Amino acid sequence: MITLEYYLILAAALFCIGLFGAVAKKNAVAVLMSIELMLNSVNINLVAFNRFLAPSQLVGHVFAIFVIVVAAAEVAVGLAIVISIYRDRFSTEVDNLDWLKW
């Protein structure tokens, strides 16, 4: 039988992979994908805790839907910014985005 610990281990592994990708990657699109992976691990936690702690309520599912909506908005705005920067700088590497520094 699959218990809560299995879901938590899966979510922790996905979050660690996403955190590593967000820190180690230099491409802005890859960093956005890593952030999405971390948000999906949060969704797994929300739904798993809802299933095991309060299966009659849908609180975890509602929060997961809110996270999905926020993630979709983040992707739309993030990709628009990345495309705008690419048109100006011809690069999507995070190291090259230092033109806002003093």
b/e per residue, 15-28, with b = 16+ CB within 10 A? beebeebbeebeeb
Question: Tens digit of pLDDT for each residue in 16-43?
Answer: 999 999 999 888 889 999 999 999 999 9
Cα dist. 40→3, 68, 81, 88 in Å?
Answer: 19, 8, 22, 31
Please say whether the beta carbons of 35 and 27 come within 8 A: no
pLDDT confidence of residue 33: 93
pLDDT confidence of residue 46: 95
- Give the integer Cα–Cα distance in Å for 99 and 11: 36
pLDDT band per the 50, 70, 90 thresholds, residue 91: confident
Domains and CATH numbers, the chain: 4-96 (1.10.287.3510)
- Report the chain's C-alpha Rg in angstroms: 17
Q: Which of 58-62, 65-69, 85-89, 98-102 has the lowest mean pLDDT?
A: 98-102
pLDDT confidence of residue 100: 66
Question: Tens digit of pLDDT for each residue in 46-83?
Answer: 999 999 999 899 999 999 999 999 999 999 998 898 88
